[in-house]
Amino acid sequence: MARAHGARAQMALAFETVYGAPPASGYRLMPFARTTLGAEQPLLNSELLGYGRDPLAPIKDAVTADGEVVVPIDVEAFGFWLKAAFGAPTTTGTTPKTHTFQSGNWTLPSMAIEVAMPEVPRFAMYAGCVIDQLSWQMSRSGLLTATARLIAQGEAIAATTAAGTPTALGLQRFGHFNGVVKRNGTALGNVVSAEITYANGLDRIETIRNDGKIEGADPGMAALTGRIEVRFADSALVTQAIDGTPCELEFAYSLGANASFTFTAHAVYLPVPRIEIPGPQGIQASFDWQAAKATSPTRMCTAVLVNTVTGY
């Protein structure tokens, strides 16, 4: 008897033309490390009395389809997750091509994602997937991954694939070693770690339907937050926090002229941190920053992915 193994699992992704309607073709094979994407339908205990001490049969409640996908930050496939988070990019250039994603779009594309466990077989198609949150961390070492938090309309289980044979992309990963943090265009020194979280603030449209699915997930107010941990070597960041002025923070990775990823928060505000002395070791300061819409450019953030992909 076959048993499911994560090593054999596959994930295929395609963008939908109509929300909740998976396309018949155009799927891409997506690299991923792990996923909690799934649907659940809890049971409601019967509240009726007069039938003895043994309870009556429970009643099914509404279906909830959501979860997270941990993906590598790479040169090609990561662009699909950026498109889902920010909307379609503006693409320029020939070789390489520069894909520019901007915050502030009123509508977001939906995706159909199929998670396959071929040995069972079980092919779970999640329609109407929209990114609620995209986050990642920067450090000195380790594997560089991002976490995409998704809200789906529903789940459909089949014994055969509906994605056909998905097109595989070239896998070229960025690493922490390729990263740099800049403040106002200058490399920011003494950075120990950094966290970046972009949230779309999705609002589930939970209308009454006979299939238990949601009607949609509309984007609300976006938010860009994070944290930078620095060795306390000067008062530049503390002074900015006290003054209440914004700065531009840039988080970038590069593998050469044809492969790079740059994420820029254009107006970042820093809180005044508590500077603690935990002992004889080096002193560090943590800044839980927040970004806002900048005066120029008139948006909160921009993501630029440089590769040889024709378009997303």
pLDDT, residue 1, reads 57
Q: List pLDDT tens digits, range 247-265.
A: 999 999 999 989 999 999 9
Q: Which of 199, 232, 202, 237 is nearest to 216 (CA)?
A: 202
Under a CB-based contact definition with an 8 Å cutoff, are residues 273 and 241 in contact? yes
User: CB neighbours of 62 closer than 8 A, spacing ≥ 6?
Assistant: 41, 206, 212
Q: List pLDDT tens digits, range 15-68.
A: 999 999 999 999 999 999 999 999 999 999 999 999 999 999 999 998 899 999
Q: Is the pLDDT of residue 129 over 70?
A: yes
The separation between CA 189 and the C-alpha centre of its own chain, rounded to angstroms, equals 27
Domain residue ranges of the chain, discontinuous segments joined by +: 7-40+61-159+171-307
Q: Is the pLDDT of residue 123 over 90?
A: yes
Long-range contacts of 54-57 (CB under 8 A, 24+ apart): none
Q: List pLDDT tens digits, range 191-225.
A: 999 999 999 999 999 998 888 889 999 999 999 99
